[in-house]
Structure 1
Amino acid sequence: MRSRGMKAGAIATAVAMGSVALTGCGDDGEPAADGSTASTSASSSAGSRQQDTTAVRNAYDRTAEAETAKMTIKVKADANGKSVTADGRGALDLAEGDSTMTITAEGQSIEQRVVDQVLYQKAPDPKASGGKSWMKIDLKRVAGRQGANPQQIGDPAQSAAYAKAVTDKDVSEVGTEEINGVDTTHYKVSIDVAKLPGGAQLGKQIGPTLPMQIWLDDEGRIRRQQIEMALKTPASARPEGGVASQVKVSTLMEFSDFGTKVDAEAPPAGQVTDVTDQVAQGGRTQN
């Protein structure tokens, strides 16, 4: 069986993630006089935890084996008393990371594509983007310049590494739940940010732990993933002399229709303006 990494870090609006409190699991049975009940209960709880951890660790590879899927994403960001929401709907190549999606935010819809880890967004106002119809962001270049970046948490390829880093004590089963007509098992997971790539820098922005919720179907594939976190704005994104502010971001991703067709092609070069440098420096594109 071939293991595939999901490289959807591609989805620009899936920028941040993270967090719900991790709850304990296991049944505290009444101890018998000889301690046998407590021992049996502890052993059963440990075995259950190990099974839960294995399911979460394997989830990303199991999902990637489907090769493609339809995807929806909902992102809400709150900062300085203001809230911005975005909804995305499209299709994703789980092996290559290519995708096609329509993003709707503040009443405006934008067509988006990701091809070979390059993000293309259709410019709402071509005049503001040099007369070109599309804007281009090289995700690899942005990641290279910014180092540890909360945006990477929205990349299922990165998330796979995060999930595999968890230990038995970091996973708890919440229960069962039906999502879009599919039976799933719901888990809560907590990840030590220090163990992530670039964790020391990332921890300064999002804190010491990255909690998330994940829902898996009977085949161990991800049907829903939810992350909520608060992060400090990097110095490059603040006005000169400005103080750090906090942005709370909630992201909900859902996968369905595994095996669906994905047609993601880069726009003609003559219709594209590159805004990678502006984004890497913390600026905003005209969208």
Structure 2
Amino acid sequence: MRTAVHTSVRRGATGAALAALVLGGGAVACSQGTDQSPEMSPAAAVAKAAKNTDDITSLHYRMAGTVPEEGKVTAEASMSMKPLAMSMKMTAADSGTDGPVEMRLVDGAMYIGGGAQAAKEMDGKSWIKFDMSALGADNGMNADQLGGGEADKNPAAESTFLTGSKNVKKVGTETVEGVKTTHYKGSITLAGLRKTLKGEKKATREQREKSLEQYEKMGLDGFTMDAWIDGESRTKQFRMRGTADKGPLDMTVTFLDYNKPVTVKAPPAKDTADLAEMMKGAQAG
């Protein structure tokens, strides 16, 4: 049973960990905005969009691309910041699962759903629950290993990284998801980004530092970044590309909605296996 648990958790955790790659920063928009003012410099436009992330309370977004070691990934998610809750469905081409992996974060617990395949391995239970505060190193598997340590990242923070570019430029105007935007691009180093964190608010700084650590673990020193900003100075979409020690990174995040109510419910108890209890039982045995 322990082997099956670890196998299922590992597969589900792939989706959870991948979510961390983009849970970290950016501005969003869904309005039919107009193009950026030609009088605004690229650096000023990017800085203004970054500032507008402060009023974001919830997100609905889509991500697609390639992640080091995991290959091609697609996902769609909704999350609220206060109270912290998230629901995500993700498909990783190399995960070995028979369909999307679903992850829910609600009331301080993370739930990873593996569908019918997980149910076959866990006595009919298709969901695994773990309380991030209950798991620790003594259990042989902790929340960080399962991706739980990254689940509280805010995907409205990473696209602000373009403010760390010293060569940001305007590429042109484009329509993204029916919204008129101005396309900006620049190159960024992780070392340079760290320097920009010094003047940020504590909460903002901590969120961005988490994301930087994730990229450092990949062996990424820097990347190029594109951002599509609408006429209300909110980023509609951003793309990050770079070459890490563990493979290429090429991820695009498109914001579909924001500041709308987000409701996340825990899966039915009858379909859920509590990982903390299972680990305790295995240790007692």
TM-score by length of structure 1 reads 0.57
Instruction: Give 1:228's match in structure 2, choosing from 241, 259, 264.
Output: 241
Contact 1:60 1:156 in 2 (8 A): no
Task: Tell me the distance in 2 between the aligned counterparts of 1:169 and 1:109.
Answer: 39
* AA of the residue aligned to 2:101: I
Task: Tell me the distance in 2 between the aligned counterparts of 1:152 and 1:229.
Answer: 23
Instruction: Give 1:163's match in structure 2, choosing from 153, 161, 164.
Output: 161
Change (3 A) 1:47 1:254: closer
Change (3 A) 1:89 1:197: closer
The answer as to 2:102 corresponding to 1:111 is yes
Deviation of residue 181 (structure 1)? 0.9
Aligned-pair Cα RMSD in Å: 4.2
Deviation of residue 251 (structure 1)? 1.8
Q: Give the % identical residues.
A: 25
Task: Tell me the distance in 2 between the aligned counterparts of 1:187 and 1:167.
Answer: 13
Q: Which residue of 2 aligns with 1:175?
A: 172
Task: Tell me the distance in 1 between the aligned counterparts of 2:185 and 2:261.
Answer: 31
Change (3 A) 1:217 1:153: farther
1:55-204 alignment, distance < 5 Å? 55-62=48-55, 64=56, 67-77=57-67, 79=69, 84-106=71-93, 108-115=99-106, 118-124=109-115, 125-129=118-122, 131-136=124-129, 155-156=154-155, 159=158, 163=161, 166-167=163-164, 169-194=166-191, 195=194, 197=209, 203=216
**Structure 1 residues 203-254: Cα deviation after superposition (integer angstroms, max 9, x where no partner):** 463332243222122222221121233333xxxxxxxxxxxxx222322211
User: In structure 2, the residue corresponding to 1:108 is in which secondary structure?
Assistant: coil
Task: Tell me the distance in 2 between the aligned counterparts of 1:93 and 1:173.
Answer: 31
User: In structure 2, the residue corresponding to 1:60 is in which secondary structure?
Assistant: helix
Deviation of residue 264 (structure 1)? 0.5
| Number of residue-to-residue matches in the alignment | 217
Q: Which residue of 1 aligns with 2:257?
A: 257
Task: Tell me the distance in 2 between the aligned counterparts of 1:200 and 1:15.
Answer: 11
Structure 1 unpaired stretches of 5+: 1-9, 18-44, 233-245, 277-287
Change (3 A) 1:257 1:16: closer
Contact 1:68 1:91 in 2 (8 A): yes
Task: Tell me the distance in 2 between the aligned counterparts of 1:117 and 1:228.
Answer: 32
Instruction: Give 2:229's match in structure 1, choosing from 216, 223, 237.
Output: 216
Task: Tell me the distance in 2 between the aligned counterparts of 1:217 and 1:105.
Answer: 30
Change (3 A) 1:154 1:86: farther
Structure 2 unpaired stretches of 5+: 1-14, 23-37, 136-140, 195-207, 277-285
* AA of the residue aligned to 1:264: V
